[in-house]
């Protein structure tokens, strides 16, 4: 597989187990200074098993996350538009030939209905997700462009979708240029596993069976001018330590070639999927403690990158991982095309995998507020050209949080005013007052001005 040196990873892991407690402390001191870690240093943290060292890893990850992004946590919803797929991926319910699920590809009108349902709940950011087969009579890229246009066309009162990201099939450079022109935020594509033998074994048929075409898609997206990309691993297919180091190798390639790493890293674990025997007999199951370490080590290894956690995880696990480096989460998710409109969560209607956090958006927001995190729907960077290298210039030294903090409070007030339950509204206003005290005089003055606009009915203001 391109860019991935499997032998080197194996050698790194063999040596990393010998790192001493003082070695770990030195690596953590480097992380605390917001410096990117090398593969050797990342391997040492992944192999650390001493409880005292693991505790320090967790504490440092929390500190680094707060230094880069502050206490804000960004919220979004996945928007599944189709579950037709020509690939046979053994862990996925969408796999070709699976008769256990009903297939559906949403029309533009049905997409607008889904978006309307999400807006009425308070969502402002969506991740468009589609299986890798277009509806009959349409080209794949045309279906994606139609969906993006439908998403951005919907308004419910003063509310609309401020940012649509997309997780879709690998495209050509020219097709990626069309996605960028359509106004997407981040292009997201997971390699699933970087271990080539495993990759070929679990992707048995379809375009996705070519691992090099898939990994090259991220390069093609950059070449097309999309400077915000999201990558990830499906943990459970192979050794989590190998996968994390391979992910880091991929990041090193992107930084060397394009001068920019990924905007986000996603960390899904395999969950049961209808029609998938592999999903209930996970080859390399990752325990909760191992998973916590993965998230913490990723935060330390690439401190500038957003870490995304889905509703595959339980509410308890998600709440714990907010403290270990997670900076973005989906909320009140549905993985079935049309699921937000129908409200049907049954496994046999076309969901991609099982979910474990079924809390409403309001409940997730309430949980964040109770832990003194700031729920955020901010999309300001995309309106202010703070993407790619411009974003990294602010994120790497920890300067982006100065904008994140204000924008998070602005979007939180909008949510509280327009959607929150009475208790969440009360707790949220109390948190805002508490956090205002931490702002400098200019920040307090700016926030007061933005809040006055919100009180006058203005929405979608940002720094």
Model confidence pLDDT, tens digit, residues 162-178: 999 999 999 999 999 99
Task: Spell out the residues 6+ positions from residue 277 whose beta carbon is closer than 8 angstroms to its own.
Answer: 90
Confidence tier at 346 by pLDDT (50, 70, 90): very low
Confidence tier at 345 by pLDDT (50, 70, 90): very low
Instruction: Provide the token pair at 457.
Output: 């009915």
The domain segmentation of the chain, as residue ranges, is 67-382, 398-455
Residue 238: per-residue pLDDT:
98
> Cα-flanking dihedrals φ and ψ of residue 51, to 5°?
-55, -35
**Stretch 142-147: mean pLDDT, rounded?**
98
Q: Is the pLDDT of residue 326 over 50?
A: yes
Per residue in 249-296, pLDDT (tens digit) is 999 999 999 999 999 999 999 999 999 999 999 999 999 999 999 999
Residue 381: per-residue pLDDT:
65
**Stretch 136-142: mean pLDDT, rounded?**
92
Which of 290, 306, 209, 185 lies closest to 243, judged by CA?
A: 290
Least confident of 10-14, 92-96, 309-313, 435-439: 435-439
**Stretch 406-425: mean pLDDT, rounded?**
96
Least confident of 59-68, 337-346, 354-363: 337-346
Instruction: Provide the token pair at 80.
Output: 């599944």
Q: Is the pLDDT of residue 401 over 70?
A: no
Residue 342: per-residue pLDDT:
82
Task: Spell out the residues 6+ positions from residue 317 whose beta carbon is closer than 8 angstroms to its own.
Answer: 288, 291, 356
Residue 393: per-residue pLDDT:
65
Which CATH code fits 67-382? Answer: 3.20.20.70
User: How many CA atoms does the CB half-sphere of 50 hold within 13 Å?
Assistant: 14
Task: Spell out the residues 6+ positions from residue 129 whose beta carbon is closer than 8 angstroms to its own.
Answer: 78, 79, 80, 81, 166, 167, 168, 335, 352
User: How many CA atoms does the CB half-sphere of 147 hold within 13 Å?
Assistant: 31
Per residue in 235-256, pLDDT (tens digit) is 999 999 999 999 999 999 999 9
Q: Is the pLDDT of residue 322 over 80?
A: yes
Residue 367: per-residue pLDDT:
96
Confidence tier at 347 by pLDDT (50, 70, 90): very low
Task: Spell out the residues 6+ positions from residue 452 whose beta carbon is closer than 8 angstroms to its own.
Answer: none
d(CA 118, CA 160): 10
Per cent of the chain over pLDDT 70 is: 94
**Stretch 432-444: mean pLDDT, rounded?**
90
Task: Spell out the residues 6+ positions from residue 68 whose beta carbon is closer than 8 angstroms to its own.
Answer: 34, 303, 304, 395, 398, 400, 401
Q: Is the pLDDT of residue 392 over 90?
A: no
Contact 278, 202 (CB under 8 A): yes
What is the phi-psi region of residue 343: left when phi exceeds 0, alpha when psi lies from -120 to 50, beta otherwise?
left
d(CA 450, CA 463): 9
Q: Is the pLDDT of residue 348 over 50?
A: no
d(CA 210, CA 86): 13
Residue 230: per-residue pLDDT:
97
Contact 140, 134 (CB under 8 A): yes
Residue 13: per-residue pLDDT:
97
Contact 93, 275 (CB under 8 A): yes
Q: Is the pLDDT of residue 131 over 70?
A: yes
Only one residue has tokens 């991609």, namely: 352
What is the phi-psi region of residue 101: left when phi exceeds 0, alpha when psi lies from -120 to 50, beta otherwise?
beta
Q: Is the pLDDT of residue 78 over 90?
A: yes
Confidence tier at 12 by pLDDT (50, 70, 90): very high
Contact 431, 423 (CB under 8 A): no
Q: Environment class of residue 433 by beta-carbon count within 10 Å: exposed (0-12), middle (13-18) or buried (19+)?
A: exposed
pTM of the model: 0.95
d(CA 68, CA 80): 31
Q: Average per-residue pLDDT in the chain?
A: 93
**Stretch 64-72: mean pLDDT, rounded?**
90
Contact 12, 40 (CB under 8 A): yes
**Stretch 27-45: mean pLDDT, rounded?**
96
């Amino acid at each position: 597989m391109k860019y991935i040196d499997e032998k080197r990873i194996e050698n790194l892991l063999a040596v990393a187990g010998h790192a001493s407690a003082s070695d770990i402390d030195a690596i953590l001191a480097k992380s605390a200074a917001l410096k990117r870690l090398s593969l050797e240093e990342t391997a040492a943290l992944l192999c650390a098993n001493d409880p005292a060292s693991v505790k320090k890893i967790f504490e440092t990850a929390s500190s680094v996350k707060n230094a880069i992004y502050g206490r804000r946590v960004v919220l979004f919803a996945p928007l599944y538009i189709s579950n037709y797929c020509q690939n046979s991926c053994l862990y996925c319910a969408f796999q070709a030939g699976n008769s256990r699920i009903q297939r559906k590809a949403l029309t533009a009108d049905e997409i607008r209905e889904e978006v309307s349902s999400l807006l009425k709940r308070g969502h402002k950011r969506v991740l468009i997700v589609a299986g890798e087969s277009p509806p009959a009579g349409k080209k794949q890229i045309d279906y994606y462009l139609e969906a993006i246009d439908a998403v951005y066309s919907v308004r419910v009162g003063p509310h609309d979708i401020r940012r649509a990201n997309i997780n879709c099939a690998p495209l050509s450079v020219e097709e990626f240029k069309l996605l960028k022109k359509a106004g997407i935020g981040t292009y997201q594509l997971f390699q699933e596993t970087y271990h080539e033998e495993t990759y070929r074994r679990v992707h048995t048929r379809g375009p996705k069976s070519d691992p090099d075409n898939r990994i090259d898609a991220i390069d093609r997206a950059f070449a097309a001018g999309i400077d915000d990309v999201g990558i990830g691993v499906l943990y459970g297919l192979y050794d989590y330590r190998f996968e994390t180091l391979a992910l880091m190798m991929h990041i090193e390639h992107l930084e060397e070639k394009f001068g920019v790493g990924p905007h986000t890293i996603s960390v899904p674990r395999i969950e049961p999927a209808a029609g998938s025997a592999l999903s209930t007999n996970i080859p390399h199951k990752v325990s909760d403690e191992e998973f916590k370490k993965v998230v913490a080590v990723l935060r330390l290894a690439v401190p500038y990158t957003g870490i995304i956690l889905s509703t595959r995880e339980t509410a308890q696990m998600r709440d714990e991982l907010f403290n270990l480096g997670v900076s973005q989460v989906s909320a009140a998710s549905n993985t079935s095309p049309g699921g937000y409109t129908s409200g049907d969560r049954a496994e046999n209607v076309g969901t991609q995998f099982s979910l474990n956090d079924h809390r409403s958006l309001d409940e997730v927001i309430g949980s964040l507020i109770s832990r003194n995190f700031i729920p955020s729907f901010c999309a300001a960077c995309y309106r202010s050209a703070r993407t790619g290298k411009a974003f990294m210039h602010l994120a790497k030294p920890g300067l982006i949080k100065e904008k994140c903090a204000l924008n998070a409070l602005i979007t939180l007030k909008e949510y509280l005013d327009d959607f929150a339950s009475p208790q969440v509204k009360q707790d949220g206003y109390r948190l805002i007052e508490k956090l205002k005290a931490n702002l400098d005089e200019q920040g307090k003055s700016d926030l007061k001005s933005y809040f006055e606009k919100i009180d006058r009915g203005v929405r979608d203001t940002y720094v």
